[in-house]
Chain A
Amino acid sequence: MPVEIKPIKPMIQRNPWVRPCLLSLVLGYIAFLIFVPIGTLFFSAFSEGAVSFFKVLCRWDVLHAFGLTFFLSLLAVFVNAVFGLIIAWVLVRHDFPGKKFLNALVDLPFAVSPVVAGYMLILLFGRTGWCHAWLQAAGIKIVFSLPGMAIATAFVSLPFVIREVMPVLQEIGLEEEQAAHTLGANGWQTFWRVTFPSIRWGLLYGITLTFARAMGEFGALFVVSGAVSGETETATLFVFRAMDERMYQEAYAVSVVLAAVSFFVLLAMEALKKRVREEV
């Protein structure tokens, strides 16, 4: 986990040109890699004036796309927070055969390309899929429909809460929980009153990362959704379609909104990171 940065006082260098050289190299690299592209995006989006920018955002298919993105992200956050907490708890506090395997498995979504994630769902729930006949009978449509997109979003953002809560659970240790037990608290009371307050910053940080990932998901949704505008089109899918159909101003405008939102998410991330470090 990243820690608070405190600079060391620079010593008198034998080669005084090292510092400015290194500094310009690194700052230049960061400017070129990160700041210039972002700046260009904002510039291009507003190149035809603020009015035109906001007009794009008021299009009903854009609004619907934002709504869908937001909805899917919240759903993924909720599901992965609840299950993530349970899984983190089980992996840290329990001991059972196969625990190591499960622990490694949690990293799977990091190893799976988003396209492949979407594809896996098609293999399971698509026309020739494993579960198809069963789903058809129940009248449930997963692929090219909201449920599939929800599952895909949850898949790609699954590990974050687990990976952020586990080290915190590890750090705070068992003693407070044991003390609560000796004072008569049952499992649930102990979790809510003793454990949860200690892990909430780690949990929040994990949730923030989950949200960011879910909001930005594209590849899996691209494969799984069919990208039907107004129905199964998220913000990212809209941007892609807009680029494809050369509706550049529309694409840039929605991209800017996504970038802006992720910027705020980033601020939340950094603030929470500090809190997590302080707690542990």
Chain B
Amino acid sequence: MGISVKNLTKRFGEFTAVDHVSFEVKQGELVALLGPSGSGKSTILRMICGLETPDEGEIYLTGEDATSRPIQERGVGFVFQHYALFKHMNVWQNIAFGLEVQKFPKQEIKDRVEELLRLVQLQGYSQHYPSQLSGGQRQRVALARALAPKPKVLLLDEPFGALDAKVREELRNWIRRLHDEFHVTSLFVTHDQNEALEISDKIVVVNQGHVEQIGTSQEIYENPQSSFVAGFIGPVNVLRGKVEAGKAKIGQFEFALDKNMLEGHSAVEALIRPSDVVLSMPSEGKLPTGRVKRISFLGWGIKVDIVLKDGQLLTVHLTKERFQELQLAEGQDVYIQPTDAKVFKQKVASQDYSI
């Protein structure tokens, strides 16, 4: 149920923006469509809504084939990045629009608009015009407007892209709250991985027109299936090396190889999260070492940049307490123990997502 997309393809001339994409959003789920600019995620969303027509593939909304249905008949609520509020109507009229146009009874319109105004906490603003509202307020109106005619599915296209960081955070909570209240199947497009990780039940990672991975925030963060996903979600170090004697040898480190994944490839890269590294003071032993190049204070923790023996750079995130324990200084040598690393075949330089 919910949204089901099969083999969706869209080409613009020679360029394939969306390449045989398939995924599902279960009834009542809140799913993020996450990817960099140009990955095709907005195009996918617009095809589901009916604003674009797919060249191939099918779209099912609540079980029914909606592929060739016109926009008006799909029962889809859409929230635009730049709100698209009706400039010459006030807040009340904007929210009521869908209800009026779909001929809901007068009393029901009144009740529903009031309910939504309460939910987005804009009760005193019903007579205001969009130009009199802040960006955050406008987007709340846009949300309320889209939800008013009880859509089967809610689509949001980078809904907070046009707002500054603080407002974005507040609005993330609004979306989650509204979703918990109405349980509308929702799909939102974003390039902000924090947003995706924080509020969605599931994430569909998209890159260059196809799906890289689908999973929960935790699954995607901890078990990335490709170096792209690993690099795109969360900060990551990329260390290069090669296959030697059945293991991945990267500088002084040795990592186990997933034979199936790396069949026939000799150049590999290890993706290591900065928080997945344990540092200790050098003593007797043969742990890999590196030299501390720079220490930066990040507010919630400390960032330590280390130069490895083979010249590659490794960034490590430490809690303030751990840093105090170690008493590190720039120019010092440290022992390095990665606790987790994902090894993939080496990527072409242009797709480097390391810090």
Contact = CB atoms under 8 A, between A and B. Distances in A.
Direct contact of A and B (CB under 8 A): yes
Interface of A: 175-176, 178-186, 189, 193-194, 197-198
A198 B77 contact: no
18 contacts: A178-B51, A178-B80, A179-B78, A179-B86, A179-B145, A180-B101, A181-B70, A182-B50, A182-B76, A182-B146, A183-B97, A183-B98, A183-B146, A183-B149, A184-B72, A185-B98, A185-B101, A197-B88
B contact residues, range? 20 to 34
B49 A176 contact: no
B51 A183 contact: no
B146 A184 contact: no
Interface in B35-87: 49-51, 70-72, 76-78, 80, 82, 84-87
B80 A180 contact: no
B87 A183 contact: no
Contacts of B102: 183-184
B88 A182 contact: no
A176 B71 contact: no
Contact of B98 (A175, A184, A197): A184
Contact of A182 (B78, B85, B86, B87): B78
Contacts of A178: 51, 71, 78, 80, 84
B77 A176 contact: no
B49 A194 contact: no
Given A182-B76, A184-B149, A185-B72, A193 B84 contact: no
Mostly helix, strand, loop or mixed at chain B's interface? loop
Contacts of B70: 181
A176 B84 contact: yes
A175 B149 contact: no
B101 A182 contact: no
B101 A183 contact: yes
Given A183-B77, A186-B72, 6 more contacts: A175-B80, A179-B84, A179-B85, A179-B86, A182-B146, A198-B87
B87 A184 contact: no
Nearest to B46: A178
A193 B72 CA distance: 15
Given A181-B72, A184-B101, A197-B88, A175 B82 contact: yes
B149 to A, nearest CB: 6
Contacts of B76: 182
Nearest to A175: B84
Interface string B84-96: 1111100000000
A180 B71 CA distance: 10
B43 to A, nearest CB: 14
A185 B102 CA distance: 7
A233 B223 CA distance: 87
